Structure 1
Amino acid sequence: SRVFTAQQLLNLPGYTIVVRMDSWRAAPDLFPDVLTALVSVMSIALVSVLVLLAKDTRRRLRAERGLADALAFRQAMEDSLVTGLRARDLQGHITYVNPAFCQMVGFAPQELLGHNVSAPYWPPEQADEYGQRHTIRMSGGSPPPREGFESMFVRKDGTRFPVLIIEAPLIDAQGVQTGWMGACLDISEQRRVQELTRAAQERLQATARLATVGEMASLLSHELNQPLAAISSYATGSMNLLGDGPPGPEGMASLALAMRRIAEQAGRAGKVIKSVHDFVRRRDEAREAVPPQALFDAIMPLVGLQATKLDVHVELVLETDLPPVLCDRTMVEQVLLNLARNAMQAMDQPAIVQRRLVLAVRRAGTTQRTAHAPGWLEFSVADGGPGIAPEVAPKLFTPFFTTKAEGMGLGLSLCRTVVEQHGGFLAMEPNRPQGMVFKFTLPVAPPVPAANHH
């Protein structure tokens, strides 16, 4: 075999050393080959681990950047909300508030975080009540309503404002509740708009009542002229009796009869004026239990005036043993009067000979429109007029739409508004063989519990 030789002379102080190395090719040995293989495998594994570690690091960085972006997006979204957000743990401590909540109540986050009872934005006189409700809520004894509940908050400057609070449980990734998240809405502006709308609606209804009486002025003057003329006639006769000297027994009897007739006619005129006054006067909005017969009794004097002028026969049909309805009496009387007047005016045509107005009340059947509450009565006003054209029907309840030259277009619109404010509905359908029927529903008044006598 070939031998490779190498030597090197080393000069050391006091010594001279010759280093010689001989090498030759020998047969393969097992141990050096295994060692080389292990080193190779470990090198490959180390490179693979480094590559995987680099990929994992890049994924982790991307995930961290995504999480940071998501947190920044959520923070920007929460900061841009006008809804106040408030989080509380199961002990009731405030753990989070967003800028909108702080702006709403006027307190900084550090003044709110960690507070339990009582919160600095609670009204002092209601702190005990709020505290009890808070304790019950935190114990899980009374879950918050899904539609929320109204409350009153106090700003740092002492001003008060109503809020709508909607709360939901905070659930972690393991499905365990860790607290409550509440959304708080300042409803001051909503309340103000509601009050303005209510006031405007009241003024509009008062205007409509006055317009109704104005349209009936000629009927009222005709009805008042008769008793006034009779009073004048009886008064003139009495003056004539007294002008001839002291009357005798027969004269005194005639004079007493004339005085009674004057009193009767004055009472008749007073009833006409009272019926108008009761209809026009503005009452506080209050709902009470009213028998259906009483509603019709209130409007029949005014209905009768127009029925007499237009030669309309009025029929009143009531089921027996009807319960009272819960309603604002003045508003419902206006609805009935408007519908009755519209029906009589529809029949004021020479071609219509049989002029019949039917006012009816019956128990309403359960339908999709009445299923949301138990107990309804259905009022209907039917006429024998020419009916309503198909192209007019969709616009009939639109405010200021009218088919009359002198109409304001408010009557049917206000009728629907009043009925819907009571939870009912107003609808119309053809009357057979001719005419129209307007129907509306009102809720039955709840029964008054009988008093216990001991």
Structure 2
Amino acid sequence: MLASTLGTMPSSSLIPLAGPEKLTPPARLKRWWQRLAPQRQDRFAVLAPLVAVVLFLAAIVAAFGYLRLEEIEREQEAVNRDVEYTQQRLRLRLLERQEQLMRIAREVSNRELDADEFQSRAEAIVNQYPELESLSWIDNRRNVKASFGSVSLAPHLVKKIGSTLEPGESVSSYNLARELQQPIYAMHAAGANSPAVLQLHIPFSDRARFLGVLLAEYSIDGLFRYGVPAEVSARYAVSFHDANGGLLAGTSIAPRKPGARLLPWDKPVNFYEVPVSPVGNGLIIRAQAYRASLGVVGSGLFWLVNALSLMTAWMLIANWRHTRRRMQAQQALISETSFRRAMENSMLTGMRALDLQGRITYVNPAFCRMTGWSEPDLVGRTAPFPYWPEADIDSLSSRLQEELAGKIQSSGIQFRVKRRDGSLFDARLYVSPLIDAHGIQTGWMTSMTDISEPNRIRDQLSASHERFTTVLEALDASISVAPLGSDELLFANKLYRLWFGTEAGGHLQLVAEAGVPATPTSDDSLDPVDAFAGLPTNSLPDSDPESAELYVDALGKWLEVRTRYLSWVDGRLAQMVIATDITARRVAEEQSAAQIERAQTASRLITMGEMASSVAHELNQPLTAINNYCNGMVSRIKSQQISEDELLGALEKTAKQAQRAGQIIHRIRSFVKRSEPNRSPSNIESMVDEAVELVEIEMRRRNVRLTHYVAPRLPVLLVDPILIEQVLVNLLKNAAESVDAAQRPTAQRSVMLRVAPTQVDDKPVIEFAVLDSGQGLAPEVMARLYEAFHSTKAEGMGIGLSLCRSIVESHLGRMKAENLYNGPDLTGCCFSFWIPMIEVLPPKARLPAGQANDNQGHPSKT
């Protein structure tokens, strides 16, 4: 620490004042110590012994730790060496038994031993080596040919001659020995009634032909008792484990969980384990040294030294903390005094102290800056003070007497103050008694604040409020604000008072008729706590306003009512209602609707006017037929060359032609007749048939083939059938004109009307599509397709498609147009619109019997 402190000192402080030689290290240290402040010398004087004790304790702990690590390392080396020795003993023992058993296997392979001789040899070997439990001869079909077990083996575990090798691990080891043609060691796990055993499979072979195996089973307990040296088991806890860590034999001090891998920091002291060769990882020998002594850490000397060192360090720390607290208290007192003085000097509020006689005893810098007078000019002065205006001296003198008598209110007093340069400003003065440390009042403490700016802002706010109120009063909309759950009217402008008066009834009437959810009222409305307390009113101004249009009978006006919630100035939740007179707009909308209706009727009349010649030609055919039938019957009757049956047949044909002419005239009258929109459950197929019959004359005149398809089992639509027929007639007529204008050959002059259900935005709709083989739509035409009074035909008025789209949108549908392509070639155009499905009663329950049909769609051609 001393060296680091010396290193941080400037180099100039180490240069001697006189003499050519530099100071020696002790001289430098002495000089550095003399330059330290007394407080820092005390701190270093306390810390030096503490550091020495801590270093001594660290050295003792390091020495004992080093000795302990040396002891653990020696014990670990001993454990490793003894475990390796035990493993070698077990390995040699197993290899010796393996050699003897392989000789028997070769004799069996060479057919030098039969089953009886094998039985005798097995009995001799099992009785000679106690770790062997049984020997079995198993042929290539896994049948036990000969077997012998030790007397200690349970009868049910002895393999019976003629039995088959049990499935499981034994069979897998048997197959492995058969494939590899080498001895195979395998651990057989313990069962419910059988202990774990070590199996050795030695294959029999005759010229690469597999004859079977010699199965030897070792007792794990026998291997442990006769394979582990006695001196090793006396010093260590030796145990055998399987590959999963399960205990097979021996004693384990710190057994681990099955299947858990032992981490390096989890290993106990003096612990070692190795797999037993040639078995492999299936059999692991583990050893851990018994703890016979406490070691150096457990000795009494170690703990005695630690206790004394800690006690010494604790006493030094306690002494240092006591000294530090005393120095901190002293420093805090100095800092507090300095802080209070700095706070008084930096305050923007002027502070002034008066004694009981009214003499100024103290002023802070802020008071001097406000008045322009210095502290020497003010301290010791009595009334009248130099910052009093001459015109206010009498009133301020009386206020001073009230101040000295303690009669000034806690809210303070407001008066004018004169600066040294003669300018005036408004100030507010607060007075409180000045109490000394003994609780005795020695005078009065006053604080003065410049309120010129707040007064200016207050005047501006008043003027702004007046202007705001003037604007609201002049608005041509009614504005009212009322709290929720109360009949109180918080604000109402001039137009509201003109319409509804000064009560909240008009406000509540507008809220109720506009459909805004009513707020519940309770008996707690007189409670000073708002019933809606706790609602997030700070987010209410950001909410979307609700609007509605309603007719007020008392005023005879249409009003657009908009409402929104807001937090009033007193924190209550209120509702603002803005009502605007929209009577003129509603009248204009009604007139516009009437004009649109008249335009629709005119469009139908124009359409029928364009088709007049074709209609006349169509009517000429039934009228000519009627005339011919009548003339023929008259001539044949006169010549008496007609029978009664022939006369009836001719009359029936005449009646059919007359009925056909009447149907044509009725259909035309229904189409062009002006009527109010009448939405009713309408059959889709009937509407399509009516439209097709109206335009088939135009189609034949222009030599265009019309094909229509109506999907089967379509529902009934709630529409105005005449308007929908008008849309279809206009689209079909436009399609025929487009095909005729394109000059297509006869085979390609076709128009297709298709009606089928579909999905739009996951909603079921009925789609009407008109496909033609005409010349399509140019991009500039597509952009202005539905624009009113825009037409590509010389004689067109430009209102047909605009009216069609208006009719479709009035039925909550949509209309679109797109060109049809066959690769890069333009092959025609498709106009389509859809009407949403609305559930109505079935057609047969709604429509007259004559109009009901099976509603089966079918294609037809005209």
**Matched residues in 2 for 1:375 and 1:302: separation?**
29
Residue of structure 1 aligned with 2:792, choices 375, 397, 403: 403
1:190-226 CA distance string (max 9 Å, x none): 2211110110000000000000000000110110000
**Matched residues in 1 for 2:591 and 2:509: separation?**
27
Residue of structure 2 aligned with 1:150, choices 518, 528, 549: 549
Alpha carbons of 1:241 and 1:190: their partners in 2 closer, same or farther (altered >3 Å)? same
Deviation at residue 187 of structure 1 after TM alignment: 2.4
**Matched residues in 1 for 2:768 and 2:519: separation?**
45
**Matched residues in 2 for 1:338 and 1:131: separation?**
42
Determine the structure 2 residue equivalent to 1:31.
none
Deviation at residue 122 of structure 1 after TM alignment: 6.6
**Matched residues in 2 for 1:297 and 1:146: separation?**
49
1:152-205 CA distance string (max 9 Å, x none): 3244xxx5222222222231357531x321111222112211110110000000
Identity of aligned residues (%): 28
Bigger shift: residues 354-363 or 168-177: 168-177
Determine the structure 2 residue equivalent to 1:42.
363
Determine the structure 2 residue equivalent to 1:300.
692
Q: Is the 8 A contact 2:551 2:557 kept in 1?
A: yes
Q: Is the 8 A contact 1:121 1:154 kept in 2?
A: no
1:198 aligns with 2:597: no
Q: Which amino acid aligns with 1:386?
A: Q
Alpha carbons of 1:328 and 1:243: their partners in 2 closer, same or farther (altered >3 Å)? same
**Matched residues in 1 for 2:690 and 2:710: separation?**
15
Determine the structure 2 residue equivalent to 1:77.
471
**Matched residues in 2 for 1:363 and 1:181: separation?**
47
- State TM-score, norm by structure 1: 0.76
Q: Which amino acid aligns with 1:160?
A: G
Alignment of 1:350-369 (within 5 A): 350-353=743-746, 354-367=748-761
Determine the structure 2 residue equivalent to 1:288.
680
Q: Secondary structure at the match of 1:402?
A: coil
Determine the structure 2 residue equivalent to 1:4.
none
**Matched residues in 1 for 2:462 and 2:585: separation?**
37
1:180 aligns with 2:575: yes
Determine the structure 2 residue equivalent to 1:63.
457
Residue of structure 2 aligned with 1:417, choices 797, 801, 806: 806
Alignment of 1:236-385 (within 5 A): 236-244=631-639, 247=640, 250-349=642-741, 350-353=743-746, 354-367=748-761, 374-385=763-774
**Matched residues in 1 for 2:552 and 2:517: separation?**
18
Determine the structure 2 residue equivalent to 1:101.
496
Q: Is the 8 A contact 1:84 1:99 kept in 2?
A: yes
**Matched residues in 1 for 2:818 and 2:603: separation?**
25
1:132-169 CA distance string (max 9 Å, x none): 9899346499xx994323333244xxx52222222222
Aligned residue pairs, count = 387
**Matched residues in 1 for 2:585 and 2:576: separation?**
23
- State TM-score, norm by structure 2: 0.42
Gaps of 5+ in 2: 1-354, 373-424, 428-448, 522-530, 533-542, 843-862
Deviation at residue 40 of structure 1 after TM alignment: 5.8
Q: Which amino acid aligns with 1:176?
A: R
Q: Is the 8 A contact 2:514 2:549 kept in 1?
A: no
1:392 aligns with 2:781: yes
Residue of structure 2 aligned with 1:166, choices 558, 562, 582: 562
**Matched residues in 2 for 1:133 and 1:148: separation?**
9
Alpha carbons of 1:352 and 1:386: their partners in 2 closer, same or farther (altered >3 Å)? farther
Q: Is the 8 A contact 1:352 1:385 kept in 2?
A: no
Q: Which amino acid aligns with 2:774?
A: G
Which is greater in Rg? Answer: 2
Alignment of 1:111-126 (within 5 A): 112-116=501-505, 119=506
Q: Is the 8 A contact 1:424 1:441 kept in 2?
A: yes
Deviation at residue 87 of structure 1 after TM alignment: 2.0
Gaps of 5+ in 1: 1-34, 124-128, 450-454
Q: Secondary structure at the match of 1:404?
A: coil
**Matched residues in 2 for 1:131 and 1:421: separation?**
26
Alpha carbons of 1:132 and 1:300: their partners in 2 closer, same or farther (altered >3 Å)? closer
Alpha carbons of 1:222 and 1:133: their partners in 2 closer, same or farther (altered >3 Å)? closer
Q: Is the 8 A contact 2:514 2:548 kept in 1?
A: no
Q: Which amino acid aligns with 2:626?
A: I
Q: Secondary structure at the match of 1:403?
A: coil
1:62-117 CA distance string (max 9 Å, x none): 211221232123113212322211222331233332123344x2x5xxxx22344x
1:269-292 CA distance string (max 9 Å, x none): 111111111111122213233232
Q: Which amino acid aligns with 2:657?
A: Q
**Matched residues in 2 for 1:298 and 1:56: separation?**
91
**Matched residues in 2 for 1:64 and 1:305: separation?**
85
**Matched residues in 1 for 2:459 and 2:566: separation?**
26
Deviation at residue 48 of structure 1 after TM alignment: 5.1
**Matched residues in 1 for 2:513 and 2:787: separation?**
49
Deviation at residue 257 of structure 1 after TM alignment: 1.9
Residue of structure 2 aligned with 1:428, choices 793, 799, 817: 817
Deviation at residue 403 of structure 1 after TM alignment: 1.9
Q: Is the 8 A contact 1:122 1:152 kept in 2?
A: no
